[in-house]
Each structure stands twice: as C-alpha cells, then as structure tokens.
Amino acid sequence: MNDDLPALKADQLPVPDTDQLGRTLELQHPPRILLLYGSNRPTSFSRLLTEEAARLLQHLGAETRIFDPSGLPMPDDAPDTHPKVQQLREWMQWSEGQVWCSPERHGAMTGVFKSQIDWVPLALGAVRPTQGKTLAVMQVCGGSQSFNVVNQLRVLGRWMRMVCIPNQSSVPKAFLEFEGGRMKPSAYYDRVVDVMEELMKFTLLLREQSDYLVDRYSERRESAQALSARVNQRSI
C-alpha cells in the first residue's frame, strides 16, 4: 500500500482508532465512501485529486467508489431509469460518507458536478439518500487559490442534509501539483491527507448514530398526524 502512496509518510497516518473515538462500534464493515468529481476533460485535475483521496481512504480502511459523470444526462433531459442515473442513486444510498471535488469555473462549481447532485432527490421512496451522511469538500483551481467552490459545496451539502466536516481542501494552480497523474508532495497534498483522515473519523463516529441525530420533531409530528387520520377514518 505504501508504494501506491509515494507522497505519504505512512507511519504518520495510522488507521483511526475507534477506542480513541470513545465508543465501541457495532458495524464492522469498512466505511463506505462515495467520491464525486466535476469534469469530463481527458486530463481532469478534479478526477486526479479525487483518485488521490480514494487511495488515502483505502489506506485508512474505507471501501470507496468513484462515480464517473461521463454519460450522465442533464437533469430532466432523460428518464430517471437511465443507467447512469440509477447507478448514481444506488451508490448514494450505499454510501455512509462522501467526497465532493469540483473545479472552479467562472467562480463557481461546474455544471458537470451540479448535475450529479440535481439527479438526487431529497427522498427516494421513504429513504433519504444523503441525509446524515458525512461529507468532505475539495476544489481545484486553474489559477490562484480560491474558496468559492468549497463554500458552495458546503451550502449544497447542508441542503442535502449532510454532515459536512470542518476541514476542506483547495488546490491552486492544480496543473503544477500533479506529475504523471499523481499529486506531488506538498503542503496541499498534506491538507488532502488531513481532510481524508478527518472524514474517516467523523464517518466512524456518526454512521451508527446518523438516523437518531437527524430525527426531527416536525417530521415525527407530521407522521403522527397522518397515522391518526388513517386510523380514525370512517371508511376504507
């Protein structure tokens, strides 16, 4: 594994210690992390950064899936039975945490990235595909460092009822930070390591408690009223 992470000082990145989190975890399967990126370019630095993040997460013990947005139709321009849409929605439900990474284009996230989120409703049947999942946000910049995209991704993540971790990554002049498809050692790489380590810890801490943490009074009240109306109806 160390050979696959040449920029990492592996002895300084141990697998998260669940005892240090203060609780014994019941779920024994590896944390399930879905990674999304926002460019279909042949040389996509958001994809390369996402792949680096996936390698780090695997080193930390996660199971990862990277969604390829190529071929995903524009929202509402195809039925939701489209194979790419179905794959995206299934992987959303499979995940316990997510990494979102988009280039900055015209001061904002790309349409490629936003389209992926726009295909995911707040509810699929009775299941909320993103609620309570952890989220880490990253961006790549073609020029000087900016935080426009990570700030937008945080707003988007909150709207999708996700738990966005405190740390984040913004890589300026991304074309200088990669060589041969791999991210070079740098303070920016170290920040990516920090973000993935933090995501793993938060995911391990919250994944068994997410249903309880996002259980809401207003939704319980609405459900109780619906149940009362059904039980008290005069005829069926």
pLDDT digits (tens, 9 = 90+) for 50-59: 999 999 999 9
Residue-wise pLDDT tens digits, 128-169: 789 999 999 999 999 999 999 999 999 999 999 999 999 999
State the DSSP code for 30: P
Q: What's the pLDDT at 50?
A: 98
| Whole-angstrom distance, CA of residue 137 vs CA of residue 50 | 10
Name the more confident of 99 and 4: 99
pTM: 0.87
Q: What's the pLDDT at 225?
A: 64
Query: Which stretch of 15-24, 39-48, 121-130 has the lowest confidence by average pLDDT?
Result: 15-24
Secondary structure E strands in 14-172: 32-37, 63-67, 97-103, 134-140, 163-171
In degrees and rounded to multiples of 5, residue 30 shows phi and psi of: -60, 145
Residue-wise pLDDT tens digits, 16-35: 877 776 666 677 889 999 99
| Whole-angstrom distance, CA of residue 146 vs CA of residue 105 | 11
Share of the chain above pLDDT 70, in %: 89
Q: What's the pLDDT at 1?
A: 41
Whose CA is closest to 4, among 43, 49, 52, 42?
Answer: 52
| Whole-angstrom distance, CA of residue 11 vs CA of residue 210 | 31
